[in-house]
Amino acid sequence: MKIEFQDSPFWDFSLSIYGRPGVADACLFLQDRYALDVNVMLFCVWVGLTGRGPLGAHEIDACVSRTSDWRKRVIEPLRLIRRACRDEPLGVPEFLLQVFRPSMHDVELDAEHVEQLVLAELVPTRPVEDVADDTRLDDVRRSLLRYVQHQGVSRDSRLDECLATILHAAFPGVRSDGLD
């Protein structure tokens, strides 16, 4: 049975940007290497891109607090199951795994969708402003770096490269000189 979710501009944005060149790989690397939550990162991008300014430290904390149990207790176990079915010999014939894998993928994606709907409830109430792209880019950059700092992740060149990939996908054609 397919779940029918409410419309969500944040979800629509996430699907769009995640499909752009290099973004999925960058997001998954940040998730696997630094334990960063892809949905929170995409939320940082979406909030800034839509002209709501950067997320403050207390807003980042609210995002993480509201979603951490769901991520740890639902999304991460589903991801482990899906990856095990893809990567490990489980004693199950391959043709059965080929039938099973897509449903695991769909369930994991639905769990991600739930997290995004929870995050969307936390959209800052400040008004959307008509600001220049370079200002929006700076807002997104500040939000992403606040999130990285909140998670206690030490920045390195690979992390910065992946974040820059996401920024360039969100702001094609806008010149960015990096994350600082």
The percentage of residues in the chain with a pLDDT greater than 70, rounded to a whole number, is 96
For range 161-168, the mean pLDDT: 95
**pTM higher than 0.85:** yes
Instruction: With a cut of 70, say whether residue 177 has pLDDT above it.
Output: no
Please tell me the predicted confidence (pLDDT) of residue 39.
98
Tokens 């996430």, located at residue: 14
Which of 129-138's residues contact partners 24+ apart within 8 Å by CB, and which partners?
129/51, 129/52, 129/53, 130/51, 131/51, 133/171, 133/174, 134/174, 134/175, 136/48, 136/49, 136/51, 136/171, 137/48, 137/167, 137/170, 137/171, 137/174, 137/176, 138/54
Mean pLDDT of the chain: 92
User: How many angstroms separate the CA atoms of 127 and 138, rounded?
Assistant: 18
Instruction: State pLDDT tens for residues 26-80.
Output: 999 999 999 999 999 999 999 999 999 999 999 999 999 999 999 999 999 999 9
Q: How many residues does the chain have?
A: 180
User: How many angstroms separate the CA atoms of 42 and 40, rounded?
Assistant: 5
Find out whether 78 and 149 touch, Cβ atoms under 8 Å.
Answer: no
Instruction: With a cut of 70, say whether residue 179 has pLDDT above it.
Output: no
Please tell me the predicted confidence (pLDDT) of residue 90.
80
Please tell me the predicted confidence (pLDDT) of residue 176.
63
* Residues 6 or more apart whose Cβ sits within 8 Å of residue 33: 158, 159
pLDDT band at 17 (very low <50, low <70, confident <90, very high): very high
For range 121-146, the mean pLDDT: 88
